[in-house]
Structure 1
Amino acid sequence: MKAVLLAAGYGTRLQRDVVSDSSGRFAHLAGTAKPLLPVGRCALISHWVRALSACGSVDGIYVVTNALYHAAFEEWAAHFQNVRILSDQTRSNDERLGAVACLQLAIKHFKIEDHVVVIGGDTLFKEDFSLTKVKERFSDLQAKCEDSCLVLSYQCRDQETHKYGILEVDSDLCVVCMKEKPLPSDTESRRACPCFYVLSKKSLPLLDTFLEEKKEAPIEEKDAPGNFLSWLIPRRPVYVHEISGRFDVGNLPSYIECDLFFREKLQDAESFMV
């Protein structure tokens, strides 16, 4: 199994918050890509590399970034033996390819023909999350159907449904549909879906199909990886693995919350996410 970490975003909200913060406490974060932000004892993305390496089921870790942050990621990756960096060659948010195109770029560039774990580079999960349990669940699904893919979900509050893609599932936890940022009245489900997908190798060619269909569409339709997932659900069986929640570093307050947890509350850093 391979892992692709999506890290080509420009963190515009966070950088705007850092610049406007009058305390000066976070000035050192200016110009830092979100996945490289210090979270606890290391960069946010380093938590993923450590866990993916320790879980034993991933034999290649690929990070897609942009030309602006490429050098910084290469410098960071020099501390790891199993991480390779790829630039999407863009230098601004207006030029961005979008997350789905970046995933396709990595799969083609590195000639990936294996199952792929797709991870948003600005996301970490709570302590109940386990890559080992995810792998076991995915293996069980693959034994029944090689087309099967796996995603995560956690319960969000009523007032948060408009922020997320919300999954509706059947009694077997197979996804029936995903509603993008619905009102609470539009769905009974509260299953938010973070950017963490285990895509079967049989589903990878569908990235080409999706992007060909969307080639004339605005970037917003190709940017969020959830748009591909929503498109995939009627075409391949997609199942849910339940977790309790996540840290989503989108702005300065969410970064502070995440960093504080890893500095003061994380119980077992060595086994975290493994």
Structure 2
Amino acid sequence: MKAIILAGGYAKRLWPLTKDTPKPLLMVGNKEIITRIIEKLEDIKEIDELVISTNAKFENKFKHYLQNITVSKQCRLVVEPSMGEGEKLGSIGGLNYLIDHLGLDDDVLVIGGDNIFEFSLRNFIDYYSDKDASVIALKKIEDRALLKKYGVCVLGKDELITDFQEKSDKPVSDLASTACYIFTYSDMMLIKKYLAGPNPPDAMGFFISWLISNASVYGYVFEEDWYDIGSFEQLDGARERYGQ
């Protein structure tokens, strides 16, 4: 299994803080957001390679970062050919770019590079193994206004996802998608079929909504802390939790 950290965005909602610094390299506590993710990946024996997907603008920032950390797993930086918001491939387009450039031949763990989470990746991968199908991590959120900012899921029997809405004004459930997914190889290969149709290449939720009509996808619900660093409010909350 490969682990892919998506870090190809430009985080305009956090400008000027992220104008020249990619969001995954922002400090929360005494370490970068992406370092917190990598530390959780280090002990997962199934993962044989770590891939960081970024853009041409921040290529050198990530090269410098990787030169100054110690990672036990093989690590690769893949650079999308974009220099600004109007050129970016989007999360789904970025995965398609990786399919073309990595020669993927295995299942993949995909994590948004702006996520801080406390749930166990070991338990998440064990859940995926039990289901033998693609799975996504979900967090229950009671704040209806906050839910409108996320993709939300409806779960049926055995946690099978029966409905998925991307950032709806009227959320159909209180289970938010947390940008942490495990896709089977066969489901990853469906990305090309998805993009061949009139489907948006940006938010991953659009692909999930499409995928549940073409494959079985299950929801892993966790109770531990989670921060989606998409706003100053979330960033401040994470820094309060982990220290400035």
Tell me, yes or no, whether TM beats 0.5.
Answer: yes
1:204 is displaced (CA, Å) by 1.6
Q: Show the counterpart of 2:57.
A: 68
Q: Residue 4 of structure 1 contacts residue 106 of structure 1 at CA under 8 Å; is this kept in 2?
A: no
Q: How far apart, CA to CA, are the structure 1 residues paired with 2:216 and 2:33?
A: 31
SS in 1 for 2:51: strand
Output one character per residue of 1:208-233: Cα deviation in whole Å (capped at 9) or x when no partner. Answer: 1111113xx6xxx2111111111101
Q: How far apart, CA to CA, are the structure 1 residues paired with 2:95 and 2:239?
A: 27
1:149 is displaced (CA, Å) by 0.6
Q: Show the counterpart of 1:47.
A: 36
Instruction: Say whether 1:204 aligns with 2:188.
Output: yes
Q: Sequence identity of aligned pairs in percent? A: 28
Q: Show the counterpart of 1:182.
A: 168
Q: Show the counterpart of 1:134.
A: 124
C-alpha change, 1:53 and 1:107, in structure 2 (3 Å) is: farther
Q: Residue 10 of structure 2 contacts residue 19 of structure 2 at CA under 8 Å; is this kept in 1?
A: no
Q: How does 1:253-264 map to 2 (within 5 A)?
A: 253-263=233-243
Q: How does 1:102-117 map to 2 (within 5 A)?
A: 102-117=94-109
Among 12, 23, 30, the alignment partner of 1:34 is 23
Q: Show the counterpart of 1:267.
A: none
Q: Residue 70 of structure 1 contacts residue 87 of structure 1 at CA under 8 Å; is this kept in 2?
A: yes
Quick check: which has more Rg, 1 or 2? 1
Q: Residue 165 of structure 2 contacts residue 205 of structure 2 at CA under 8 Å; is this kept in 1?
A: no
Instruction: Say whether 1:153 aligns with 2:153.
Output: no
Q: How far apart, CA to CA, are the structure 2 residues paired with 1:30 and 1:70?
A: 14
Q: Residue 77 of structure 1 contacts residue 84 of structure 1 at CA under 8 Å; is this kept in 2?
A: no
Q: How far apart, CA to CA, are the structure 1 residues paired with 2:235 and 2:147?
A: 21
Instruction: Say whether 1:230 aligns with 2:209.
Output: yes
**Moved beyond 4 Å, runs of 4+:** none
Q: Show the counterpart of 1:120.
A: 112
SS in 1 for 2:82: coil
- Gaps spanning 5+ residues in structure 2: where? none
Q: Show the counterpart of 1:21.
A: none
Q: Residue 177 of structure 1 contacts residue 234 of structure 1 at CA under 8 Å; is this kept in 2?
A: no
- Gaps spanning 5+ residues in structure 1: where? 19-28, 143-147, 265-274
1:180 is displaced (CA, Å) by 2.2
